Amino acid sequence: MSLFIKNIKKLVNVRQRQPESPLGGQDMLSLPCMEGAWLKTEGDRIAGFGLMKDLDAGELEAMELSADEVVDADGRMVFPSYCDSHTHLVYAGSREMEFMDKLRGLSYQEIARRGGGILNSVELLHNTSEDELLRQTLERAWEIISLGTGAVEIKSGYGLTVEDEIKMLRVARRVGEETPLKVRTTFLGAHAVPARYKGDRTGYVDEIVRDMIPAVAAEGLADYVDIFVEEGFFSVEDACRIFGEAVKYGMVPKVHANQMSFSGGVQVGVRYGAASVDHLEFTGPEEFKVLQGSGAIATLLPGATFFLDMDYPEAKEMLEYNLPLAIASNYNPGSCPSGDMKFMMALAMIKMRLTPETVLNAATVNGAFAMGVAGDYGCIATGKKASLFITKRIPSYEFVPYSFTSQLIDTIILNGKQY
Ligand code: NIG
């Protein structure tokens, strides 16, 4: 199957040479675009692109004849799909009653201390079959596809037993088989201490290290390992034990770092070569210096900061330290029940004063690096997966985050196929 898309008003984030490393600091401020363009796909890949004005009539006709289908973008724009590098897409049910508790004044940690929060989702998931869990997750997967996402990272962490963590990760892998999404999976057994280990966190960490990591690895279910390093959840020492073991099985560390306090999550993540450190509400120059040159991508999750009504990370200062920033949705039932990357970009602009160019790079190129798929995803470049979307008629790319609740996507193309 090949497509020839012609009359593209603007080809956004198009690169002659794909970036070899994540974009940091100043490099995040520029968004290469091509005005008045065409793009060709061959199979599931981008075969080429160029300017309409450079095609003479014969070449245009030859392009059209050589394609299985011609799509006339007719003055609309083409963007690369979003790469959402932090989600908890696999969960059962919902937690809107806790949302009400939050509005009545309870904090995220207070709800967790009462046995709610993550443990609420753990119970719901335990009582849900794998097939039903898949059904619920597929609804969310198709929802994010319709919002422009083409690649997604999905974590476990609502199982907290060997069986239920494996159930979650199998469902996450099946999302990658049953939808056109590129899925990367993360083992997050250390998301909360389950009720059966109340008062014995070390006992639970023992179980993670002894039983869970080998079982998850035996089925090849996780690309990454993640830990919620936070007061009331897991300590830096726990992280050392879990990362130390998981890396032996080839899982690459990621961290839920510094969400509620200066927890040391950033430092321990960097020490173990984390691909990304995520959240970062409680960070400052000390953390930024540790991150400089570390290879870890600073991943901002503004949807959770918004939903929990917290102060936002100092993202502009991070750019001054030349850090690479990614933006992800953190789609989950507790702190961000939304997978809308456009809304996340709008929040990052409004609340952290980032530019449209920066947030678009953070949601595409750097998101792809944060989940190890930058060879195939993250920008428009020859040879990459044809994962992109054609917008409705919009005046500029700035219009996308500006118009933050409008549905602006006309056609979705994933792996060279239209949806
Ligand atoms: O990234 N902070 C920990 N994990 C999620 C929230 C999970 C939940 O509350 O269910 C987050 O915000």
Per-residue model confidence as pLDDT tens digits over 288-331: 999 999 999 999 999 999 999 999 999 999 999 999 999 999 99
Of 191, 193, 309, best ligand 1 pocket probe by most atoms within 8 Å of the beta carbon: 191
151 C-alpha vs ligand 1 centroid, how far in Å? 20
**Joined tokens for residue 174:** 């099946």
How confident is the model at residue 113, as a pLDDT?
87
* β-sheet bridge partners, residue 257: 229, 279
> Region 171-182: what's the mean pLDDT?
98
User: Which residue in this structure is represented by tokens 């869990």?
Assistant: 133
Residue 347: predicted pLDDT: 98
Quote the pLDDT of residue 16: 87
Taking all residues of the chain, what is their mean pLDDT, rounded to a whole number?
Answer: 97
| pLDDT mean over 156-177 | 98
**Beta partners for residue 9, in sequence order:** none
Q: DSSP of 230-264, one letter per residue? A: STTSB-HHHHHHHHHHHGGGTPEEEEEESSSS--S
Per-residue pLDDT averaged across 275-295, rounded?
A: 98
Measured in angstroms, how far is the CA atom of residue 301 from the centroid of ligand 1? 11
Query: In CATH terms, is domain 82-370 a member of 3.20.20.140?
Result: yes
- Model confidence band, residue 332 (pLDDT cutoffs 50, 70, 90): very high
Question: For 376-387, what is each residue's pLDDT tens digit?
Answer: 999 999 999 999
- Coil, strand or helix: which one is 15? coil
| Confidence at 17, pLDDT banded by 50, 70, 90 | confident
Does position 94 have pLDDT exceeding 90, yes or no?
Answer: yes
Whether 254 has a pLDDT exceeding 90, the answer reads yes
Residue 397 pLDDT > 90, yes or no? yes
- DSSP annotation of 139: H
Q: Which residues pair with 99 in a beta bridge?
A: none
Give the pLDDT score at 116: 87
Atom of ligand 1 nearest to the CA of 86: 1
| Confidence class for position 115, pLDDT limits 50, 70, 90 | confident
Ligand 1, atom 11, lies closest to the CA of 335
- In angstroms, the CA 392 to CA 9 distance is 11
Which residues have CB under 8 Å from 342's CB, separation 6+?
Answer: 147, 148, 400, 401, 404, 408
Domains 2-81+379-418 and 82-370 share a fold: no
Instruction: Provide the b/e sequence for 81-104 (b: ≥16 CB within 10 Å).
Output: bbbbbbbbbbbbeebeebeebbee
Helix, strand, coil shares of the chain as percentages rounded to 5? 40, 25, 35
- What percent of the chain shows pLDDT beyond 90? 96
**Which ligand 1 atom is nearest residue 259's CA?**
2
Which CATH topology does 2-81+379-418 take?
Urease, subunit C; domain 1 (2.30.40)
Give distance in angstroms: CA of 193 to centre of ligand 1.
13
Q: Give the residue whose CA is nearest to atom 7 of ligand 1.
A: 334
Q: What is the pLDDT of residue 320?
A: 97
Angle at 150 between CA 120 and CA 215, to 5 degrees: 50
Among protein residues, the one with the nearest Cα to ligand 1's atom 1 is: 330
Looking at the chain, the whole-number percentage of residues with pLDDT higher than 70 is: 100
Treating both helix axes as pointing N-terminal to C-terminal, what angle do 341-352 and 356-363 enclose, rounded to 10 degrees? Answer: 140
Q: Which of 89, 20, 15, 85 is nearest to 46 (CA)?
A: 15
Q: Is the pLDDT of residue 166 over 90?
A: yes
Q: Is the pLDDT reported for residue 112 higher than 90?
A: no
Query: What residues contact residue 176 under an 8 Å CB cut-off, 6+ apart?
Result: 182, 183
Token pair 């309409």: residue: 52
All structural domains of the chain with their residue ranges: 2-81+379-418, 82-370
Calpha distance 121→310 (Å, rounded):
22
* pLDDT band at 73; cut points 50, 70, 90: very high
Give the mean pLDDT of 225-246.
Answer: 97
Task: Name the E strands within 320-408.
Answer: 325-327, 388-391
CB distance 99 to 31 below 8 Å? no
**pLDDT band at 19; cut points 50, 70, 90:** confident
Q: Tokens 């690369």 appear where? A: 80
Atom of ligand 1 nearest to the CA of 91: 10
Residue length of the chain: 419
Q: Read off the pLDDT of each residue in 219-241 and give the average, rounded to a whole number.
A: 97
CA-279 nearest atom, ligand 1: 1
Question: What is the three-state SS of 30-55?
Answer: CCCEEEEEEEEEECCEEEEEEEHHHC
CA of 385 to the centre of ligand 1 (A): 31
Taking the C-alpha atoms of residue 151 and residue 145, their distance in angstroms, rounded to an integer, is 9
pTM (2 decimals)? 0.97
Burial 139-154 (b: 16+ CB within 10 A, else e): ebbbebbebbbbbbbb
Q: How confident is the model at residue 345 (pLDDT cuts 50, 70, 90)?
A: very high
Question: Which residue pairs, CB below 8 angstroms and at least 24 apart, start in 165-168?
Answer: 165/189, 165/212, 165/216, 166/215, 166/216, 166/219, 166/221, 167/125, 167/130, 167/133, 168/90, 168/125, 168/133
Q: For residue 333, give the ligand 1 atom closest to its CA.
A: 10
The single-letter code of the amino acid at 227 is: I
Task: Give ligand 1 pocket residues (Cβ under 6 A).
Answer: 88, 117-118, 121, 228, 256, 259, 304, 330, 332-335
